[in-house]
């Protein structure tokens, strides 16, 4: 029977129960995809007692077919291209550059807004748990995985409360954790009783609280 979540925060608590093997580990970090993935990731990181950060990713959509990704740009000045799509559609370099420049501008704006001068959490050599509020087509998460791989995590785990695309990720990441895989799926929002859009302000607040939680945990360990 499919699970129905009250809201994203409850979904995060349920998801955390599926990730207990990562609790309290110094090599684990949780990254939330903004905006909706951050409230879920906040609860996961809080329960697992591991660092929380945001991973801003912008898909580089093919002009006229934006849902089709020709690459991605992400936190840490990472740009990755899907050479198969680019070659198949014969996309010129200047088109790629134009799309990438626009998306990188928006990414930089969001980074400034969300981080508030905080240093990004290091992921090189870490086990990274990448969290969103659900997967429908999975296109944004695929772009995030592609971009995050370029930052050399030791292990990459994708974790979501609800998805119909879990099988698609089994060969792309080290582990895929889905709290529920309902059928028929239709849309992510149908599995939440409350699914209002997450604001930039809420993302900033949760990231700030996550940093405070991490600081308190560091003090307790000293």
The vertex-97 CA angle with 91 and 98, nearest 5°, equals 95
Q: Which of 128, 133, 161 is nearest to 145 (CA)?
A: 128
Give the pTM. Answer: 0.84
Residues 6+ apart with CB under 8 A from 11: 5, 40, 43, 133, 161, 162, 179, 192
Read off the pLDDT of each residue in 145-174 and give the average, rounded to a whole number.
89
Note the pLDDT tens digit of each residue in 5-27: 999 999 999 999 999 999 999 99
The model's confidence at residue 160, banded by pLDDT at 50, 70 and 90, is very high
Read off the pLDDT of each residue in 177-196 and give the average, rounded to a whole number.
82
Read off the pLDDT of each residue in 107-119 and give the average, rounded to a whole number.
88
What b/e readout covers 93-105, taking b as 16+ CB neighbours within 10 angstroms? eebbeebbeebbe
Tokens at 39, concatenated: 């409230």
H/E run at residue 168? helix 166-169
Note the pLDDT tens digit of each residue in 196-209: 999 999 999 999 99
């Amino acid at each position: 029977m499919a699970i129905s979540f009250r809201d994203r925060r409850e979904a995060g608590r349920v998801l955390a129960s599926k990730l207990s093997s990562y609790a309290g580990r110094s090599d684990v970090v949780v990254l939330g995809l903004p905006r909706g993935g951050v409230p879920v990731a906040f609860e996961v990181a809080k329960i697992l007692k591991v660092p929380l950060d945001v991973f801003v990713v912008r898909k580089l959509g093919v002009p006229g077919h934006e849902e089709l990704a020709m690459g991605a740009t992400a936190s840490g000045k990472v740009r990755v291209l899907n050479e198969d799509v680019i070659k198949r559609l014969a996309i010129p370099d200047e088109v790629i550059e134009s799309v990438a420049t626009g998306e990188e501008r928006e990414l930089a704006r969001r980074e400034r807004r969300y981080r508030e001068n905080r240093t990004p959490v290091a992921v090189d050599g870490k086990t990274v748990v990448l969290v969103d509020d659900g997967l429908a087509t999975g296109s944004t998460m695929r772009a995030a995985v592609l971009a995050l791989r370029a930052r050399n995590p030791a292990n990459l785990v994708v974790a979501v409360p609800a998805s119909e695309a879990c099988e698609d990720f089994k060969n792309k990441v080290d582990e895929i954790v889905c709290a529920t895989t309902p059928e028929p799926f239709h849309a992510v929002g149908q599995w939440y009783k409350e699914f209002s859009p997450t604001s930039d302000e809420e993302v900033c607040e949760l990231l700030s609280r996550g940093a405070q939680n991490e600081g308190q945990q560091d003090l307790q360990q000293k």
